[in-house]
Structure 1
Amino acid sequence: MFKRLQRSDYEMILAMIIFGTLAPFVRNVATSSATIAFSRTLLGAIVLQIMLLFKRQTHSLAKGERKLMVLSAAALAGNWIFLFESYRYVSVSIATMLYYTAPILALLLSFIFFHEPLTKRQIGCFILTLIGCILISWQPQSAFNLRGVIMGLCAAFCYAMILLLQRFRKPMPGLLLTSWQLSIAAILLGIYLVISKDTTMLHISLAQLPWLLCIGIVHTALAYYLYFHALAHLALARSALYSYLDPLTAILLSFLILQESCTGMQGSGIVLLFSAMLLYSYQK
């Protein structure tokens, strides 16, 4: 199907696998989701700023870019808070699949707010996504957790907003873009922690610190660097195909390592969501 794999292919594959291993690390840090998100953005921003110094890359934001960057960073911060919160209430597989409805949700929002036409294929994606979400969240009353499902969908909404905001931004190197987003998101999350009087960061134990450092350095700085570096050299269809390694890795880990169970209804919902994603990314 593909020609011989190049360095950018391996970088994208590795980045997606790293993203897919995030959930077990989050579950080993017993603190608030906002604290984990703040630590992740802060550590990631510091590492990327150091990388930019070595590469001697600089870029100042114009007035119009600042507003877009703040909005995008706020959506990024909310995205991680809701996703980490979802991990606490539903299985990793369910949270991941709900989260990955974001690209399809972005299309729907584009249709509503920007009046972009929808194709029959896109409408089919919406229908499969809706049915898949219903099947995933349709559980016995004793096992149903509405909060976890809502948190997963909120994370998807924030991710969709990030995708929509990209259309208004001027081209910028991926490393610079990520560095700015993480830096602003860290500031916004820091303000949120102060306003909400969240002091859980002060109570993080030494045993949890390695997990938190790994989330910030490996799952954020390294993974995003690999992702954006590869994205500049890969075709869109190829990148879209590799992106499914993220939810696939997360789901496999949830079953094999976290020993999470999956009902027949949930399994059918996951299959439908995967089908919607493949249909969405398909290009002739």
Structure 2
Amino acid sequence: MQNSVPGQRPSSREGVLGFSVAAVLMGTMGVFVEQAGLDPVTTVFYRCVFGLATMAAYCAWKGYFRSQRFSRRLIGLALLSGVLMVSQWVFFFGSLERVGIAVSTVVFHVQPFWVVLLGALVFREHVSAAKLAWIGIAFVGLALAAGIGRNTLSADSAYLTGIAFTLIASVLYAGVTLIAKALGDLRPHLLTMIQCAVGVISLPWLAPSGATTHIALHQWGWLAGLGVIHTGLTYALIYGAVPKMPVSAIAVLQFIYPLTAVLVDWLVYGRALTPLQGLGVGLIVLASLGVNLGWSPNGRLLRRLRPLR
């Protein structure tokens, strides 16, 4: 990621536009999953099929196959990230049918905080007291956004399962993010293509009936959209936009995705967040901005916390 300089302003504006369009498109993904009306494994399988075809065509058009050098280490890490990414998609799609688009997407967006914690535990990365404070605020927001404390929650096992699935998906995606840091030499477009290939190859073995499920004509359109729009187009837009944008812009604009999902869930399905859930969303957004932009919360709180090493 590069900070913008005066000579890069037009490029930065293009990056902001591309990133914003991609985030809005991603916010509509839940509708495509729900309208497809298939089980999560089958839905992910066909997302991978269409996503693989789209990303392979794009990489061939851009000449990435000729310019990319592969090593055993690179391929091994890419395949591992594929296993994590495909598993993440399955769990996330499973959560959508249990808790809805808005709650699933908002809860999933605590994944940057898992990245910080996993980095500290696995790679012994330094975590400042400020980051620990923001992480604590984020998980308070998570509890509120997830609806923990509702009178009906203890009796709603499907809802609890959906929240658990979302949290599992967010941890898996944090693992993908950490692996991607070690794949600096691999173009992200090729990484996405490999991840989709892992799903195409592995999912029929895990759920053989998924690839042979009868699919109606209208379902094919939604499945194709998940692969072409929400995998091929959006990832190409994001990967093209991020190098052109300052970190501060990325930190703010990344919330277009969950906020669009909340709006879409309300407009299409009439599912609105409660005021407490809205407060939870606000806390997650605030904490994420605090971590990404290096803000410091209350000074008294910071003096009581020690850095985690």
> Could you say if the C-alpha distance between residues 119 and 201 of structure 1 is closer, same or farther in structure 2, counting changes exceeding 3 Å?
farther
Which position in structure 2 is the counterpart of 1:217? 228
**Alignment identity in percent?**
24
Query: Could you tell me how far 1:57 is from its partner in structure 2?
Result: 2.2
Cα shift at 1:230? 1.3
Deviations 1:215-250, CA, capped at 9 Å, x for gaps:
111111111111111123223332232211111111
- 1:143-192 CA-to-partner distances (Å, cap 9, x unmatched) read 74110110110110111001111222232223222222222333222332
- The match for 1:237 is 248
- Partner SS for 1:232: helix
Of residues 190, 212, 215, the one that matches 2:204 is: 190
The 1:201–1:262 alpha-carbon spacing in structure 2 relative to 1, beyond 3 Å, is farther
**Match 1:227 to one of 232, 238, 242:** 238
Q: 2:64 is matched with which residue?
A: 57
Q: Give the alignment's Cα RMSD to 1 decimal.
A: 2.0
Q: CA–CA distance in 2 between the matches of 1:255 and 1:279?
A: 28
Conserved in 2, the CA contact under 8 Å of 1:175 and 1:229? Answer: no
Q: Which has the larger radius of gyration?
A: 2
Structure 2, unpaired ranges of 5+: 296-309
Correspondences of 1:1-284 after superposition (within 5 Å): 6-58=13-65, 59-135=68-144, 136-138=146-148, 139-141=150-152, 144=156, 145-194=159-208, 198-199=209-210, 201-283=212-294
CA distance in 2, matches of 1:235, 1:68: 28
Q: How far has the Cα of 1:201 moved from its partner? A: 4.7
**Matched residue SS, 1:93:** helix
Question: So what's the TM-score if we normalise by structure 1?
Answer: 0.91
Contact 1:73 1:182 in 2 (8 A): yes
CA contact (8 A) 2:140 2:283 kept: yes
Once the two structures are TM-superposed, the CA of residue 283 in structure 1 deviates from its matched residue by 4.3
Q: Is the 8 A contact 1:175 1:228 kept in 2?
A: yes
Q: Which runs of 5+ in 1 are unaligned?
A: none
Give me the whole-angstrom Cα distance separating, in 2, the residues matched to 1:280 and 1:36: 34
**Contact 1:93 1:251 (8 Å CA) reproduced:** yes
